[in-house]
């Protein structure tokens, strides 16, 4: 269910899972490929009669929203996902005066260049952005990178936790750590998307360098480093999943064979403010 930074809304509606790909067909320019999955949710008292007695006067069809997103992408020439959301939001509010405010979120569909004219799917991590805007201006400006799949061959421990009749997990001093990670941040300058590339590199670097006693410690260290590196970050939100593989056979700490972990996974979250 949607939540809005501006507060509780008695009604909202919109269009989700709108895929769009903008191609610079000659392969030239700074952003010859741009792909995104977009969702828009809008609110306003003008739409309340649709709920109460089916009066669609002033209602913007969600199919029209889909067409707006896809067609207006041709008029956006950048590559920053947050700037793209803001471009769409400002144009939408200018076009439909009955809309009091809206939230637009987008996830990058990442491709990387493999040649002068060719690309291949990239990731799995991908940039994200979320913007809420109303008639007074920007209410929420959030960027992120979601879908990290991180594997560390060793140097991760998990010991000293509570042991009782429900505990079957052994203490481990040197495990291969496999974790998934999503992170988001807000900025004081309302341009959070420009930090995505640097934050991606810091995430990879810290995960490689830091020997941890828990996944909680990993994400705390990452959040601390991000706040120290980027003074414009006001808040960072990190959520990790423990997807560490089950051991099949090992030769000490030198060699091992592993398999996918069972479906239940640990989920660990952290918010840090400046």
Say if strands 266-273 and 255-259 run parallel, antiparallel, or are unpaired: unpaired
Average pLDDT for 160-187: 94
Given this model, what pLDDT does residue 190 score? 74
Distance in angstroms (rounded) separating the CA atoms of residues 192 and 198 = 11
Q: What is the mean pLDDT of residues 193-201?
A: 94
In this predicted structure, the answer to whether residue 189 has a pLDDT above a threshold of 80 is: no
Specify which residues 24 forms β-bridges with.
Answer: none
pLDDT of residue 27: 94
Q: Catalytic amino acids?
A: 15, 62
Predicted confidence band of residue 191 (pLDDT cuts 50, 70, 90) = confident
Question: What does pLDDT average to over the chain?
Answer: 95
What DSSP designation does 234 have? E
pLDDT in tens, 90-145: 999 999 999 999 999 999 999 999 999 999 999 999 999 999 999 999 999 999 99
Smallest Cα–Cα separation from 227: which of 219, 236, 218? Answer: 236
Around Cβ 25, how many Cβ atoms within 10 Å?
7
Neighbours of 188 (CB within 10 A): 13
Residues of the chain with CATH 3.10.270.10: 13-135, 146-273
Coil, helix or strand for 227? helix
DSSP SS3 for 201: helix
CATH 3.10.20.90 fits domain 146-273: no
| pLDDT (average), residues 262-268 | 93
In this prediction, residue 274 carries a pLDDT of 86
The strand ranges marked E within 85-124 are: 101-108, 111-113, 119-121
Band (pLDDT 50/70/90 cuts) for residue 81 is: very high
Q: Dihedral through CA 206, CA 212, CA 215, CA 221, nearest 10?
A: -40
Q: What is the mean pLDDT of residues 40-45?
A: 97
Closest CA to 22 of 76, 88, 81: 76
pLDDT for residue 273 is more than 90 = yes
Give the CATH class of 13-135. Answer: alpha beta
The whole-number average pLDDT for the span 234-258 is 94
Looking at the predicted structure, is the pLDDT value of residue 252 above 90? Answer: no
Stated pTM of the model = 0.92
First to last CA, the chain: 28
pLDDT of residue 138: 94
Distance CA 142, CA 89 (A): 14
* Residue 253 pLDDT grade (very low, low, confident, very high; cuts 50, 70, 90): confident
Mean pLDDT, rounded, for 241-262 = 92
């Amino acid at each position: 269910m949607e939540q809005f930074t501006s507060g509780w809304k008695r009604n909202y509606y919109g269009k989700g899972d709108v895929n769009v790909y903008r191609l610079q067909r000659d392969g030239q320019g700074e952003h010859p490929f741009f792909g995104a999955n977009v969702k828009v949710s809008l609110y306003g008292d003008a739409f309340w009669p649709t709920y109460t007695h089916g009066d669609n006067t002033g209602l913007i069809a969600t199919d029209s929203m889909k067409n707006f997103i896809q067609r207006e992408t041709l008029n956006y020439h950048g590559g920053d996902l947050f700037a793209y959301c803001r471009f769409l939001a400002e144009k939408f509010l200018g076009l439909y005066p009955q809309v009091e405010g809206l939230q637009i979120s987008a996830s990058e569909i990442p491709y990387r260049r493999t040649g002068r004219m060719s690309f291949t799917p990239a990731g799995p991590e991908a940039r994200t952005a979320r913007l809420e805007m109303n008639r007074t201006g920007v209410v929420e400006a959030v960027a992120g990178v979601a879908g990290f799949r991180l594997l560390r061959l060793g140097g991760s421990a998990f010991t000293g936790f509570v042991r009782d009749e429900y505990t079957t997990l052994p203490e481990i001093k040197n495990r291969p750590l496999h974790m998934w990670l999503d992170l988001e941040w807000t900025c004081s300058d309302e341009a959070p998307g420009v930090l995505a590339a640097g934050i991606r590199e810091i995430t990879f670097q810290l995960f490689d360098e830091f020997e941890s006693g828990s996944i909680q410690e990993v994400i705390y260290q990452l959040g601390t480093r991000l706040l120290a590196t980027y003074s414009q970050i006001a808040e960072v939100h990190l959520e990790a999943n423990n997807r560490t593989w089950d051991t099949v056979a090992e030769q000490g700490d030198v060699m091992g064979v592993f398999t996918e972990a069972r479906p239940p996974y640990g989920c660990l979250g952290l918010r840090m403010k400046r």
